[in-house]
Amino acid sequence: MSPWIGCVLAVVIGLAQGRPYSGPTSERTHTPPRAEDLDPMIVKTRSGLVRGMAKSVLDREVHVFTGIPFAKPPVGPLRFRKPVPVENWHGILDATTLPNSCHQQRYEYFPGFEGEEMWNPNTNMSEDCLYLNIWVPQKIRLRHHNAQDRYNKPKVPVLIWIYGGGYMSGTATLDVYDGLMVAATSDVIVASMQYRIGAFGFLYLEPLVKTGSNDAPGNMGLWDQAMAIRWIKDNIENFGGDPELITLFGESAGGGSVSIHLISPVTRGLARRGIMQSGTINAPWSFMTGERALEIGKILVEDCGCNVSQLAESPSRVMACLRAVDAKSISVHQWNSYFSILNFPSAPTIDGNFLPKHPLELLAEGDFPETEIIIGSNLDEGTYFMLYDFIDYFEKDGPIFLQRDKYLDIVNTIFKNMTTLERDAIIFQYTDWEKVNDEHLNQKMVGDIIGDYFFICPTNQFAQMFAEHGLKVYYYFFTQRPSTSPWGEWMGVMHGDEVGYVFGHPLNMSLSYSARERDLSLRIIEAFSTFALTGKPVPEDVNWPPYTKEQPYYYVFNAEDMGIGHGPRSTACAFWNDFFPKLKETPGENCGCDKSEPILDVELVQNMSMGIMLNRGNSESPWISLVFGLIVALAAV
């Protein structure tokens, strides 16, 4: 056969098999194996190749990838703007180092104290901080890497963590957020991301700057989170994860962020499920109006030495001035607008875009179909914050006793922007009228007020409104005080105490947790990972009924006593969620009286209620509506 005929046949056969012709066999060069095919620690992403590292824990291997960039560093002209996707890189990115923490102020009320230091940034603080981390069980990674069928490789659910910190602090790099134990003990992939916080993440000046300039639009931190979630969704399949089985989970501001992503028109549908720990978008601290955010932004401009009066005529000049200010100075000056306890100067803003309207309106609309959630609270949510904001009254080591006049001072300070009638109603609700001068009860009531108003009752409200749309809601109530807690006994089961159990810290034998605490941690990890896979946190043979307004069941997370409860804090939350909004609408609001003077004589109410209000230590009296009816009636006179 003629040589040229052989060449033609080779071309025909090659094209039929989908291969380009590369010359006679003797002259062809074989394509070398790809790096990601040879080394399971190398993963191909849409942005480029990344190399992680293997870590061993509990006799199991986990493949860990840290410090993967998902956006350009938001520095220079990108400060105070929405994130810009990272440019593709060449070569193999080393993903074995924890990323920078975003700029923030460290908490130094108790220098060197473990309970405080565990929440402070543990890596270098920088504006160059938009990175993410991924933990993959080795068995999942190898099974996926070695699968022959590239289109039907096994995939597992993905849990994406969003850290808390009041939208003012926090970092995904904290030891307590290490996803190693979760990945080692379950068939899920864990991921987390950094996002901008404080003014860097939430400065809102858009109404005063040029439309479309993308300068200080507010909610930049939420846009950071959204970009990271999208990056993970686009690339997680190459790590062995299922992009259609993404569950967001977070605590405090992280929980608030999760709830936003589930209901925002910008991000709903990105994740199939959500887990909210002690934080929801409808909580008073978790959002602010555009008007308030704008006022706070103008104060920061002035405090940073820039001319706020030029915002209307020369916004670009003002923004250039702000971008020239040292990041540390901004971190300090932003706190000048701290108003009162849990009233932070940065928070998700109703901007007409990411958060187009009031969170309760979005919840009422219910435009988030086929979404399932786990939601929950801790027993003593308020004690952590009462210590920090009223440090002159309390000691972290306790014991604590609070005189009645100091109790009244604290309540009036917390709610200083409310009317006297509203404050009187709160005091009335949170007083045991048979033990008015019980200093232990006064201290406990302050913790209950803060915990109920800022955390437990907004959580209940979110759960109820979500369930009203026919969606599955599973509620937990965490009541386990960590045996290793360095905080005083009086602080109880604090805000954030569940996080260590969620991430498997009791499984670290060097930390001296009890065997039952280790079992509790494993149960929580199993519940969250099972939920990520099936949408139900427990097998069919375990009783954890869904939560509804009519049947508000919750599951108790406790090392000694697991079970089902009803509530939690039903009567207190009826006060905050049902009665208090009506009180704010009463004619007494416009009575024209001197609001610096009490509208009601609290001692008179005390005397009237003696014999009626019995044993109201936990605010559970059935007579509450009768007496409040009297309050409203008197206010309307």
Q: Give the CATH number, domain containing residue 383.
A: 3.40.50.1820
pLDDT digits (tens, 9 = 90+) for 40-56: 899 999 999 999 999 99
Of 101, 169, 192, 252, the catalytic one is 252
Q: Are 96 and 66 in contact (CB under 8 A)?
A: yes
Do 190 and 65 have their domain in common?
yes
Q: Classify 61 as helix, strand or coil.
A: strand
pLDDT at res. 39: 83
Q: Are 247 and 162 in contact (CB under 8 A)?
A: no
Of 116, 206, 372, 381, the catalytic one is 381
User: Residue 583 pLDDT more than 80?
Assistant: yes
Cβ-proximal residues to 318 (8 Å cutoff; 6+ apart), any chain: 209, 301, 306, 307, 308, 310, 311
Other Cβ atoms within 10 Å of 566 Cβ, number: 9
Do 18 and 42 have their domain in common?
no
User: Domain limits at 190?
Assistant: 37-357
Active site residue 469: no
Q: Output the pTM of the full model.
A: 0.88
Q: What is the mean pLDDT of the chain?
A: 89
> Read out DSSP for 574-599?
HIIIIIHHHHHTSGGGGS---TTS-S
Q: Which residues of 620-636 are buried (b: 16+ CB within 10 A; e: fewer)?
A: ebeebeebbeebbeebe
Cβ-proximal residues to 580 (8 Å cutoff; 6+ apart), any chain: 422, 425
Closest by CA to 209, choosing from 115, 301, 123, is 301
What is the domain count for the chain?
3
User: Residue 151 pLDDT more than 90?
Assistant: no
Radius of gyration of the chain (CA): 28
Do 339 and 388 have their domain in common?
no
pLDDT digits (tens, 9 = 90+) for 189-210: 999 999 999 999 999 999 998 7
User: Residue 634 pLDDT more than 80?
Assistant: no
* CA–CA gap between residue 87 and residue 481 (Å, rounded): 46
Active site residue 495: yes
Within a domain: 366: no
Within a domain: 365: no
Residue holding tokens 């105070």?
Answer: 80
| Segment (H or E) for 49 | strand 49-51
* 51, two tokens: 């190399």
Q: How far is CA 82 from CA 263, 306, 354, in A?
A: 20, 22, 12
Within a domain: 363: no
Q: Which of 25-39, 340-354, 442-456 has the lowest mean pLDDT?
A: 25-39
Other Cβ atoms within 10 Å of 529 Cβ, number: 22
Of 103, 144, 145, 495, the catalytic one is 495
Last residue of a domain, one of 313, 333, 357: 357
Within a domain: 387: yes
Active site residue 252: yes
Within a domain: 52: yes
